[in-house]
A and B are shown apart, each in its own frame.
Chain A
Amino acid sequence: MRRAALLAATLVAASMAGGTARAEPDNYTEAARGRYLTVLGDCMACHIGPDGQSLAGGHLLETPFGKISVPNITPDNDTGIGRWTADDFHNAMHNGKRPDGTHLYPAFPYTSFTRMSRADNDAVLAYLRSRPAVENRVERDTLPFPFNIRLLMAGWNWLNFTPGEFRPDPQRSAEFNRGAYLVEGPGHCGLCHTPRNLIGGDRDSEHLQGGALQGWFAPNITADARLGIGDWSQEEIVAYLRTGHTDRTAASGPMAEVVAYSTSQMTEEDLKAIAIYLRERGAAAPPAPPAVSAEDPRMRAGEAVYADTCAACHVGNGSGVAGMFPRLANNQLVRQDDPTGILRVVLQGSRSVATPEAPTAPAMPSLGWRLNDQQAADVATYIRNSWGNAAPPVTPDQVRKMREVVADRPG
């Protein structure tokens, strides 16, 4: 018998034996809708439980303010949300509040989920309640003082958060509005792709212009041609989200997870809507810096490193191999002001995402052991300023700091 089926059967048996038996409402369509919403919201990415299948949470998320534990959102009465009402759930999603009135931390992106409707939140809860209850007690008080004082979140919310459902723009097409809802609501793309202010709120004026998240950089996804997706066709954006790979790039790092658990399972219409929204909502990016001259000694050194180390995959002129090795020529990712992305993959390597349509998942080898700080900085500078790219040069000091970040870091 298939192992997965056996495991599922075991879980069902466990839940039935565990004393959380309850009457089950006949809400098949609502729960199905809720299931799709959890794909849109990528709940699995954070709430995945120790069994690798349920949403029982339990592990710790790192933030600069300390570690936050991810709660159990299976319908277990004691350790999960089994006793929550629909009002409770909506209050969490819409206002960032727990049933007892205390605040949730915006590590849980209620700042985005607030845009979801009451009906949507009821559907999500219907789905969550249809899943087996998994007992997994999560220690919630993990942040150090003073961040463990949830009351302080009131002030943070006043500065950074305005609750409110999504309002479609009547001047725009239905597809644009659907895309806007997906991106700004359940998709919570801005959580990563928008830069943060000093206390960790969104810099609204730079929405979707790229954000750093501890050792990764989620690039600009405005319609800017140089740094964002303005140069991408609608088909390309859809293919990227569905398969994780296009001729020019591959999703890896945290985005690999988004593709695997969320976007690769969205409907084709929804992916198109996201693409239309992103391409039509406008471009915003700083102007291009002048390219570092090819005669610059850093470029010369970087060119030598590139020819000997990188060209066998990415090709001497940066053209890459479609579907295998990203094209570095005229590449938005490589040109972001923040060189975190390129340094991270060069130093620690990276496995690109595997999806049913693109299962190969080629991996960038780790080269941090081979290149010293100056060599890694120079090859990054060279790549960022060749073949139509222009970006600020990279310093050995930036490499040194990135090494500390990636040293024992999980992918």
Chain B
Amino acid sequence: MSRLPKKDVVIIGLGWTGSIMAHELAQAGLDVVAIERGPWRDTASDYNIGTAPDELRYAIRQDIFLRPAQETLTARNTPDQVALPIRKYGSFLPGNGVGGAGVHWNGHTWRFMPTDFNLRSHLVGRYGEGFLPEHSTIQDWPVSYDELEPHYDFFEKVCGISGKAGNLRGVTQAGGNPFEGWRSDEYPTPPLKPNLAQNLFHKAATELGLHPFPLPGANVSTAYTNPYGVRMAPCTYCGFCEWFGCANYSKSSPQTCVLPVLMRQTNFEARTLSEVTKINLAPDGKTATGVTYVDSAGREWEQPADLVLLCAYSLFNVRLLMLSGIGTQYDPATGKGTLGRNYAYQTNAGSLGYFDKDTHFNHFAGAGSLGMMADDFNGDVFDHGPHGFIGGANLACNSTNARPISSRVVPPGTPRWGARWKKATVETANHTANVGSQGSSYSYRDCYLDLDPTYKDPLGRPLMRMTFDFKENELKMSRFIVDRTAEVMQAMGAKQVVKNYKRGPWDVVPYQTTHNTGGAVMGNTPEDSVVNRYTQHWDVPNVFVSGACLFPQNAGYNPTGTVGALTYWALDAIKNRYLKNPGQPMVQA
């Protein structure tokens, strides 16, 4: 193995968090290298307008995602089962290459609610300890909403998020979400134009006494220049958003928001097609000396650095800590250890509505973040006392696409093929809508990550093993939410409403979300977390961790907004405190 000249900072992975970290630290004058195992990706070449809108290639054959042959996980529902490899990604779809999942996401960009951050103390305070579900391991975050607010704001500005504020410095704004945490500023671009489904939902939800508002999203509605001077163009509602790269610079991604200015910095280097295999430690195990990586020819290299930033996809950050022997593996049987603990996901379900033949939804004119929402049943906005569960979800009526391989809705009981199938498909096409929900997923003792004893990756290293299932608390919450979605669907004028309750056990096949959270949780003490409130590792002070792996549990929202805010929060600490006293813990354990 050959050792390379030292850099100030080595960043593992060049997706959202890696790009942001790299840009800000390079601007601060540091010598930065980002090592990315996937290829360079650029809009005009990889998301060419003639090749991007291809459902078979990207949505079905999963061309843009991580290939399981390169890395996958094993999965099981409970600790007494044998985990088997996820041979084909389904339930979640990790990204690949420069830009990572930030290229193929839908763009929903939320802030968690203030009460999501002191979740445990808030719920115990309101409902008592006995109200928490059995084996719940939810815990308070070590940061507050107020501390993160300026960083949420900046991330949204870097992305150009389209939306309507509902709470500006404590004053409720008409047209926005009245339940959101206070915002210091309006959204950078106005909401996307609503399609028919969004209009119907808005009207129906208002009639039912709910408070609908447009989904805040990373599909910018107007031409926009972000604080870095990088410009984006308006979304054209192409209907090829989630799982696809954007061809016309209108979806926020590292490519469209950060890379153009990052790449101009001569003290930054991107090394692609190189996989970091290990974070190297000094003999006393208390300092990282850099990373080892393997290039595409299979040769090993050592990249020394003073600061190591883990910016791969959340799951793979956790795995790399495991493979590097940093921290103590969590064991659900004993409750000891923190690495891999508190893995959570998202609890999604909804209703399908069949409408008459004169209702032309035209969902093909859609955007990843084109939606109308209601937060009346999210977080702890409503009194959970009578219901016997904790957690909640947003209600969502989205028009993202009408891609026909995947979405051919027919009435219940219709055959899947033949003449009757054809007739029903044609009669139903364009006349259905969904009201869905993104529900919270709280942490439990036996939902966790560790290394698999049997299955290995192409480099011979153990795959990570995921033990997860939906618990009765989440299923109960979801059933309640689905009933609410059906009410709105009815009020929207559907002729027939079909409720699709979430049923366990968790299945790796059908797509649900790529919102994998936890495993390297942030907290106030090393007993219940892997990193401190500045995302600095308790055991190795020159290692910082990014991504949704930091979440102690997941809320009723997509994670990316909070991931972006945490990245800027950590950067603030690194630039203004850590670098003045490098190698030192910023929090006393």
Judged by CB atoms under 8 Å, the answer to whether A and B touch is: yes
Residues of A within 8 A of B (CB): 1-4, 309, 312-313, 321-325, 349, 351, 354, 356-367, 369-370
Q: Enumerate 9 A-B pairs (CB-CB under 8 Å) in ascending A order.
A: A3-B269, A312-B236, A323-B225, A360-B231, A363-B45, A365-B44, A365-B48, A365-B247, A366-B48
Q: Which chain A residues lie closer than 8 Å to B236 at the CB level?
A: 312
Chain A CB within 10 A, most for which of B43, B231, B236, B249: B231
Taking a contact as CB atoms under 8 Å apart, the answer to whether B31 and A365 are in contact is no
CB pair A359–B264 under 8 Å, yes or no, is yes
Considering the complex, give the chain B residue whose CB is closest to the CB of A323: B231
Which residues of chain A have C-beta atoms less than 8 A from B45's C-beta? 349, 363, 365-366
Docked pose: A1 CA to B45 CA in angstroms: 34
Q: Is the CB of B233 within 8 A of A351?
A: no
Which residues on B sit within 8 Å (CB–CB) of A362? Answer: 43-44, 231, 233, 249
The docked-state distance in angstroms from the alpha carbon of A234 to that of B20 is: 38
Which residue of chain B lies nearest to A351 when distances are taken between CB atoms in the complex?
B44
Q: Are A313 and B266 in contact (CB under 8 A)?
A: no
Bound-complex Cα distance A273 to B234 (A): 36
The answer to whether B227 has its CB under 8 Å from any CB of chain A is: no
Q: Which B residues touch A364, using CB under 8 A?
A: 44
A354 to B259 Cα, complex, angstroms? 12
Contact of A313 among B42, B248, B269 (CB under 8 A): B248
Query: A3 to B8, alpha carbons, bound, how many Å?
Result: 11
Q: How far is the CB of B364 from chain A (nearest CB, A)?
A: 14
When chains A and B are docked, how far (Å) is the Cα of A325 from the Cα of B50? 17
Smallest CB–CB gap between B28 and chain A, Å? Answer: 12
Smallest CB gap from A364: residue in B:
B44
Bound-state Cα–Cα, A349 to B51, Å: 14
B230: Cβ under 8 A from any A Cβ: yes
Residues in A with CB closer than 8 Å to B269 are 3
- Going nearest first, the 9 A-B pairs with the smallest beta carbon separation are A363-B44, A370-B50, A365-B48, A365-B44, A360-B231, A321-B233, A324-B233, A4-B266, A2-B267
Question: Could you say which of B50, B249, B260 contacts A354, with CB atoms under 8 Å apart?
Answer: B260
Which one, B43, B238, B261, contacts A363 given CB within 8 A? B43
Report whether A367 and B50 are in contact in the complex, using a CB–CB cutoff of 8 Å: yes
Number of interface residues of B (CB under 8 A): 29
Check: B79 CB closer than 8 A to any chain A CB: no
CA distance A357 to B43 in the complex (A): 21
Candidate in A1, A322, A364, A365 with the most chain B CB atoms within 10 angstroms:
A365
Verify if B174 is at the interface (C-beta below 8 Å from A).
no
Q: Nearest Cβ distance between residue A226 and chain B, in whole angstroms? A: 27
Tell me how far the C-beta of A187 lies from the nearest C-beta in chain B, rounded to whole angstroms: 25
* Chain A, residue nearest B235 (CB): A312
Tell me the residues in window 202-237 of chain B with beta carbons closer than 8 Å to chain A beta carbons: 223, 225, 228-234, 236
Known: A322-B223, A363-B44, A369-B50. 13 other contacts (CB 8 A): A3-B267, A309-B49, A312-B236, A313-B233, A321-B233, A324-B233, A354-B264, A359-B260, A360-B229, A365-B43, A366-B44, A367-B49, A370-B50
B285: chain A residues at CB < 8 Å are: none
A357 and B229 contact, CB distance less than 8 A: yes
- B50: chain A residues at CB < 8 Å are 309, 365, 367, 369-370
B404 at the A interface (CB under 8 A):
no
Q: How many A-B residue pairs have CB under 8 A?
A: 81
In the complex, the answer to whether A321 meets B223 with C-beta atoms within 8 Å is yes
CB distance from A231 to the nearest CB of B (A): 22
- Residues of chain B within 8 A (CB-CB) of A367 are 48-50
Does residue B505 face the partner (Cβ distance < 8 Å to A)? no
Least distance between B532 CB and chain A CB atoms (Å): 30
Q: Is B29 in the interface zone, CB < 8 Å from A? A: yes
| Docked complex Cα distance between A186 and B231 (Å) | 33
Whether A324 contacts B260 by the Cβ 8 Å rule is no
Q: In the docked arrangement, what's the CA distance between A366 and B46, Å?
A: 11
CB-defined contacts of B31 to chain A, threshold 8 Å: 1-3
Which of A3, A349, A356 meets B44, CB within 8 Å? A349
- Complex: how many Å from CA A369 to CA B45? 12
1/0 contact string of B229-260 vs chain A (CB within 8 Å): 11111101010000000011100000000001
Binary per-residue interface labels of chain B (154-198) against chain A in the complex, 1 for a CB within 8 Å, 0 otherwise: 000000000000000000000000000000000000000000000
Taking CB atoms and an 8 Å cut-off, the chain B residues in 47-82 that contact chain A are 48-50
B43 pairs with A2, CB closer than 8 A? no
Q: Which A residues touch B266, using CB under 8 A? A: 2-4
Given A4-B267, A312-B248, A313-B248, decide whether A361 and B260 contact each other with a Cβ distance below 8 A: yes
Query: Would you give the shortest CB distance from B337 to chain A, in whole angstroms?
Result: 40
C-alpha spacing A321/B248, complex, angstroms? 11
- Do the beta carbons of B48 and A312 come within 8 Å of each other? no
Specify which chain B residues have a CB less than 8 angstroms from the CB of A312 in the assembled complex: 49, 236, 238, 247-248
- B250 to nearest A CB, angstroms? 9
A362 to B223, CA, bound (A): 13
B230 touches A321 (CB 8 A): no
State how many angstroms separate the Cβ of A328 from the closest Cβ of chain B.
Answer: 15
Contact residue among A2, A3, A309, A360 (Cβ-Cβ distance under 8 Å from B230): A360
| Distance between B379 CB and nearest chain A CB, rounded to angstroms | 37
Could you tell me the distance between the alpha carbons of A312 and B264 in the complex, rounded to whole angstroms? 28
Cα distance, A101 to B444, chains bound together (Å):
87
Docked pose: A366 CA to B261 CA in angstroms: 23
Contact of A359 among B42, B223, B232, B261 (CB under 8 A): B261
Residues of A within 8 A of B247 (CB): 312, 365
Residue of A nearest to B47 (CB): A365
Q: Which residues of B contact A370 (CB under 8 A)?
A: 50
Min CB–CB distance B251 → chain A (angstroms): 13
C-alpha gap A67/B305 in the complex (Å): 45
Contact in complex: A321, B234 (CB < 8 Å): yes
B229 contact set on A, CB distance < 8 A: 356-360
Bound-state CA distance A46–B450 (Å) is: 57
**Residue on A nearest B226 in the bound complex, by CB:** A360
Complex Cα–Cα for A324 and B31 (A): 31
Q: Which residues of A contact B42 (CB under 8 A)?
A: 363
Query: In the assembly, what is the distance between CA of A312 and CA of B43, in Å?
Result: 14
CB distance from A282 to the nearest CB of B (A): 35
Closest partner residue, chain A, to B53 (CB atom): A312
Write out the residue numbers on chain A whose beta carbons fall within 8 Å of the beta carbon of B238: 312
CA distance A2 to B25 in the complex (A): 12
Are A365 and B49 closer than 8 Å at their CB atoms? yes
Q: Contact string, B405-416, partner A, CB cutoff 8 A, digits 1/0?
A: 000000000000
**Among the interface residues A309, A312, A363, which one has the most CB atoms of the partner chain B within 10 A?**
A312
**In the assembled complex, how far is the CB of residue B247 from the closest CB belonging to chain A, in whole angstroms?**
7
> Which residues on the A side are within 8 Å of B261 (C-beta)?
359
From residue A309, how far is it (CB to closest CB) to chain B in Å? 6
Q: Which residues of chain A are within 8 angstroms of B267 by Cβ–Cβ distance?
A: 2-4
CA distance A129 to B415 in the complex (A): 83
Q: How far is the CA of A369 from the CA of B49 in the complex (A)?
A: 12
Residues of B with C-beta under 8 A to A313: 49, 233, 248
Residues of A within 8 A of B223 (CB): 321-324
Residues in B neighbouring A359, C-beta threshold 8 A: 228-230, 260-261, 264
Contacts of B44 in A (CB 8 A): 349, 351, 362-366
**Bound CA–CA A157/B267 (angstroms):** 47
Smallest Cβ distance from A370 to chain B, in angstroms? 4
| Minimal Cβ-Cβ distance residue in B for A349 | B44
Task: Specify which chain B residues have a CB less than 8 angstroms from the CB of A354 in the assembled complex.
Answer: 260, 264
Query: Closest residue of chain B to A361, judged by CB?
Result: B260
CA–CA, A331 and B264, complex, Å: 30
> Nearest CB to that of B269 among chain A residues?
A3
What's the nearest-Cβ distance from chain A to residue B290, in Å?
17
Select from chain B the residue with minimum beta-carbon distance to A363.
B44
A324–B224 CA distance with the chains assembled, in angstroms? 10
Residues of B within 8 A of A325 (CB): 233, 248
Which of A1, A362, A367 counts the most B-chain CB atoms under 10 A from its CB? A362
Closest Cβ of chain B to A371, distance in Å, is 9
Most buried by B among A3, A322, A360, A362: A360
B160 → A minimal CB distance (Å)? 12
Q: Bound state CA distance, A4 and B232, in angstroms?
A: 30
Contacts of A369 in B (CB 8 A): 50
In the assembled complex, the Cα of A243 lies from the Cα of B69 at a distance in Å of 45
- With A3-B266, A349-B44 as known contacts, state yes or no: A324 contacts B231, CB within 8 Å: yes
